[in-house]
C-alpha cells in the first residue's frame, strides 16, 4: 500500500501541522478501522482454532481472538500517540487521528505476512522458500526448537521492511521532512520493541521451546 496515496485535493489541503494526507474520508475511517480489526479477529481466530481441542468451548477462542484484535488496534493507537508526542516535542504537529488511520492501514502488511506464513508452512518446498523472503527467514516454524530471538526477529522480511518504510514515509509527509529522520526513529522504535519482545518471550518460556 502506498503511503503517498491521496483521495482528493479538498481533503488534503495543507494546513499547519496537517500536511499528512488522510488515509480515508473521515466518515469511512471508523468503518475501515473496524474492518481491519475484524480481519485481525479472523486471522487470530484461525490460528487459535487449530490449537484448541475440538471439545473446547468455541466461545473462548473467539473471545481471545477479539482481545488480540483489539490489542492490535490499541497498539496502533499507542504507536501513533508516541510518534505524535515525539514530533510535537520537536515543534512538529502531526494529527493523531490521521496517523492512527495510516498505521491501522499499514498494519495490513502484518496481516498479509501472517496469512502468507500459514500458507508457506502448509506448502513446504519452493513456495515456502519464496514466501520466506516476504514474511521473514525465521518466521516459518521449520526448525526443531523455537527461541525468543527467532520469535522476535524472525519476521524480518520484505513485508516488515515495507511496513517500516511506510510508517516513516507517512511521518515524513506529515512533518514535511526528509525520509531519513523519520526512518531512523521508526527503526529505533521497532528495534527497541523487538528487543523487549525477545527478552519477554525468553522469560515466558524459560527452558521450554517455543512452538
Partner 1 sequence: MSSERRMSLAERAGWGLVAVALVALGTLWHFDRTRVWESPRWDDAGLVELRAAEPAVAGPERAASAASHDAGAPGPIETWAVAVNPRCELCRASLARGLDVRRVARSPVRLAALVVDTKRRPSSATVATLTADELRWDSTGAWRHRWGHRLYGELLCFDREGRFVRTIAPLTDSLAARRALRTAASLSREGGS
Q: Which residues sit at the interface with partner 1, rule CB under 8 A?
A: 47, 50-53, 56, 60, 85, 88-89, 91, 121, 141, 144-146, 192, 195-196, 199-200, 202-211
Q: How far is the CB of 71 from partner 1 (least distance, A)?
A: 19
DSSP H or E run through 191: helix 180-205
Q: How far is the CB of 21 from partner 1 (least distance, A)?
A: 26
Spatial CB neighbours of 41, under 8 Å, sequence gap ≥ 6:
65, 66, 68, 69
In the bound state with partner 1, the residue whose beta carbon lies nearer, of 18 and 47, is 47
Spatial CB neighbours of 44, under 8 Å, sequence gap ≥ 6:
64, 65, 68, 69
In the bound state with partner 1, the residue whose beta carbon lies nearer, of 28 and 149, is 149
- The DSSP line for 17-79 is T--SPPSS-TTTHHHHHHHHHHHHHHHHHHHHHHHS-TTS-THHHHHHHHHHHHHHHHHHHHH
Q: How far is the CB of 188 from partner 1 (least distance, A)?
A: 11
In the bound state with partner 1, the residue whose beta carbon lies nearer, of 38 and 199, is 199
In the bound state with partner 1, the residue whose beta carbon lies nearer, of 108 and 121, is 121
In the bound state with partner 1, the residue whose beta carbon lies nearer, of 80 and 104, is 80
> Rounded distance, CA 24 to CA 5, Å?
10
Amino acid at each position: 500500500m502506498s503511503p503517498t496515496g491521496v483521495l482528493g485535493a479538498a481533503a488534503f489541503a495543507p494546513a499547519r501541522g496537517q500536511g499528512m494526507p488522510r488515509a480515508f474520508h473521515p466518515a469511512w475511517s471508523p468503518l475501515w478501522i473496524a474492518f481491519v480489526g475484524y480481519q485481525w479477529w479472523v486471522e487470530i481466530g484461525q490460528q487459535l482454532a487449530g490449537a484448541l481441542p475440538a471439545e473446547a468451548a468455541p466461545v473462548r477462542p473467539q473471545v481471545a481472538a477479539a482481545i488480540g484484535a483489539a490489542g492490535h488496534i490499541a497498539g496502533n493507537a499507542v504507536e501513533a500517540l508516541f510518534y505524535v508526542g515525539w514530533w510535537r516535542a520537536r515543534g512538529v504537529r502531526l494529527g493523531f487521528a490521521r496517523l492512527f488511520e495510516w498505521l491501522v492501514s499499514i498494519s495490513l502488511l502484518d496481516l498479509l505476512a501472517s496469512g502468507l506464513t500459514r500458507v508457506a508452512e502448509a506448502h513446504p518446498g519452493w513456495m515456502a522458500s519464496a514466501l520466506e523472503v516476504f514474511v521473514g527467514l525465521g518466521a516459518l516454524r521449520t526448525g526443531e526448537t523455537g527461541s525468543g530471538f527467532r520469535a522476535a526477529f524472525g519476521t524480518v522480511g520484505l513485508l516488515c521492511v515495507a511496513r517500516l518504510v511506510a510508517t516513516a514515509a507517512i511521518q515524513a509527509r506529515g512533518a514535511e521532512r526528509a525520509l531519513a529522520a523519520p526512518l531512523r526513529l521508526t527503526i529505533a522504535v521497532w528495534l527497541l520493541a523487538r528487543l523487549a519482545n525477545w527478552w519477554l518471550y525468553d522469560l515466558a518460556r524459560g527452558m521450554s521451546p517455543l512452538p
